[in-house]
Amino acid sequence: MKNRFLLHDLCMMHKIKMRWLPPYLCDCFETCLNVHEHLTRQQQDFYLSNYRTTLREKTFFIIIVREYNNLPSNIKSKTTINSFKSAIKSQLLSNQ
């Protein structure tokens, strides 16, 4: 059940990255490239803002951004939601 929620959340983050969702959702997240101009390997990852409390650390925004950023780049580069879902499912099954 936990993997099912994670699959759903990661698919939503992928849709946000691809800008397939409304702007009010997509604008809640920024990539590292939009925050600073340094060319790094993580420039396409979502930016994790600083937080000072453990309560903030356990919010959806922080948890799902961390999970999405930890995905391999070959999965994050999928261009369709169906190929992304199948890659995530196989990754989650191999990690069990």
Give the residue extent of every domain in the chain: 2-94
pLDDT, tens digit, 9 for 90 and up, residues 14-34 = 999 999 999 998 888 887 666
Across 47-52, average pLDDT: 74
User: In this model, does residue 35 exceed pLDDT 70?
Assistant: no
Distances (CA, A) of 23 to 17, 18, 19, 43, 54: 11, 11, 8, 21, 29
* Element counts in the chain: helices (H) and strands (E): 7, 0
What type of residue sits at position 60?
Answer: F
Q: Taking the model in full, what pTM does it have?
A: 0.81
Q: Which of 6, 15, 17 is nearest to 81 (CA)?
A: 15
Q: Which residue has the higher pLDDT, 29 or 37?
A: 29
Residue tagged 């994670």 (tokens): 6
Please state, in angstroms and rounded to a whole number, the distance separating the CA atoms of residues 52 and 75.
31
Model pLDDT, residue 80:
95
pLDDT of residue 54: 78
Q: What backbone phi and psi angles, to 5 degrees, belong to 87?
A: -70, -40
